[in-house]
């Protein structure tokens, strides 16, 4: 491991993960000297610099010690982890956090007209993919022997060109598949952007920076879904109202001046609050309900 004193994070330079990765780091309080056209961005608020690279290069840069952390799709990371596993060596990187954006599936798709029932129908077929390790691993786990056709470019035209029977590719909306008269039939991997690191975290100042960043990331991810719920209610109704809150945490209960049996309550909920929740709470005696978004959170 190199003896840099500044932390380096690799993110995708331009693509589906770029904006959300930068946004996440900004919410964690990191700011960078702008040079989006270049490879390197100097961190101004903390000793944390950015490398802007192709997503496929992120794991390799971590493995080589060029950077300490990276934001990359689980699809890319897992493919390379499987690829590096030859010889029984432990993987050179790991997933530290799921980041909740860049969600997609690596799926097998077949021509629209194909009458699909189960994965046994893949036996003896040729499946085109840019994820040969993930596909081979999935086929093996499902005890299916199909041949994996490793392509480097767009795989969705392979069935029409006759170079494969089926494909295994990333899907989010399914629009690309539909445009190519294909349908998704089996999910090989559920993917989203992840924070990746080397197998061993540095134990110097960079390790402390990573710990701090992880705490901030946890806070950022948590506030995305959490809400502050406030209401007034009779003290006697408090317990039944609180039971209606989804994933609610310990509430703060405050007496209301001049109203003996009334309390003002505030509670954090770690799940989405729906109109149905509020209507149920109202029936149980809650009034003046407010649901507020959270800006920051540190446990
Ligand atoms: P690069 O130039 O960095 O190599 P790329 O073309 O390989 O870019 P993108 O298409 O920007 O990569 O996708 C980056 C990641 O976004 C994917 O690896 C995947 O994790 C995620 N992703 C989310 N939805 C989709 C989708 N519908 N198709 C492809 N990738 C998706
Ligand atoms: Zn790529």
Domain CATH for 108: 3.40.190.10
**Lowest mean pLDDT segment, chosen from 102-111, 239-248, 262-271:** 239-248
* Domain match, 11 and 88 both: yes
- 299 inside domain: no
pTM value? 0.87
* Domain match, 55 and 95 both: yes
* Domain match, 172 and 202 both: no
Q: Would the CB of 172 count as within 6 Å of ligand 1?
A: yes
Q: Would the CB of 70 count as within 6 Å of ligand 1?
A: no
User: How far, in Å, from the CA of 284 to the mean position of ligand 2?
Assistant: 53
- 281 inside domain: yes
Instruction: Determine the pLDDT at residue 1.
Output: 46
Residue nearest to atom 13 of ligand 1 (CA): 16
* Domain match, 204 and 73 both: yes
Number of domains forming the structure of the chain: 3
Burial grade of 243 (CB within 10 A; 0-12, 13-18, 19 or more): exposed
Instruction: Determine the pLDDT at residue 36.
Output: 61
105-137 confidence digits (pLDDT tens)? 999 999 999 999 999 999 999 999 999 999 999
- Residue 185 to residue 192: CA distance in whole angstroms: 20
> 50 lies in which domain range?
3-102+193-223
Contact 45, 29 (CB under 8 A): yes
Domain CATH for 287: 3.30.70.120
* Domain match, 254 and 147 both: no
Q: Would the CB of 56 count as within 6 Å of ligand 1?
A: yes
* Domain match, 97 and 202 both: yes
Rounded to an integer, the average pLDDT of 268-282 is 93
H helix count then E strand count, the chain: 9, 15
* Domain match, 84 and 132 both: no
158-206 confidence digits (pLDDT tens)? 999 999 999 999 999 999 999 999 999 999 999 999 999 999 998 899 9
- 298 inside domain: no
What burial letters (b/e) apply to 60-80, b meaning 16+ CB within 10 Å? bbbbeebbbbbbbbbbbbbbb
* Domain match, 286 and 210 both: no
Ligand nearest to the CA of 13: 1
Instruction: Determine the pLDDT at residue 4.
Output: 81
Last residue of a domain, one of 191, 209, 242: 191
């Amino acid at each position: 491991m190199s003896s840099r004193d500044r932390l380096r994070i690799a993110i995708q330079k331009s693509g589906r993960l770029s904006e959300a990765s930068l946004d996440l780091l900004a919410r964690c309080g990191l700011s960078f000297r702008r040079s989006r056209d270049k490879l390197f961005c100097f961190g101004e608020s903390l000793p944390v610099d950015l490398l802007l690279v192709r997503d496929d290069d992120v794991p390799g840069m971590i493995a080589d010690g060029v950077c300490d952390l990276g934001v990359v799709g689980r699809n890319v990371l897992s493919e390379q982890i499987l690829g590096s596993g030859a010889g029984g060596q432990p993987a050179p990187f790991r997933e530290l956090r799921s980041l909740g954006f860049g969600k997609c599936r690596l799926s097998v798709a077949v021509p629209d007209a194909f009458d699909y029932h189960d994965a046994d129908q893949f036996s003896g077929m040729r499946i085109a993919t840019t994820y040969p390790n993930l596909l081979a691993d999935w086929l093996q786990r499902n005890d299916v022997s199909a041949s994996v056709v490793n392509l480097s470019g767009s795989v969705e035209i392979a069935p029409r060109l006759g170079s494969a029977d089926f494909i295994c590719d990333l899907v989010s909306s399914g629009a690309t598949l539909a445009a190519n008269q294909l349908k998704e039939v089996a999910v090989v991997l559920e993917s989203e952007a992840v924070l990746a690191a080397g197998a061993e975290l540095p134990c110097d100042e960079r390790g402390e920076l990573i710990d701090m960043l992880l705490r901030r990331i946890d806070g950022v991810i948590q506030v995305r879904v959490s809400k502050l719920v406030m209401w007034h209610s009779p003290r006697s109704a408090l317990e039944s109202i609180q039971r209606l809150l989804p994933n609610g945490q310990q509430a703060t209960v405050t007496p209301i001046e001049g109203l003996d049996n009334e309390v003002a309550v505030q509670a954090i909920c770690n799940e989405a609050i729906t109109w149905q929740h509020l209507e149920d709470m109202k029936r149980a005696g809650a009034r003046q309900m407010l649901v507020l978004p959270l800006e920051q959170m540190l446990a």
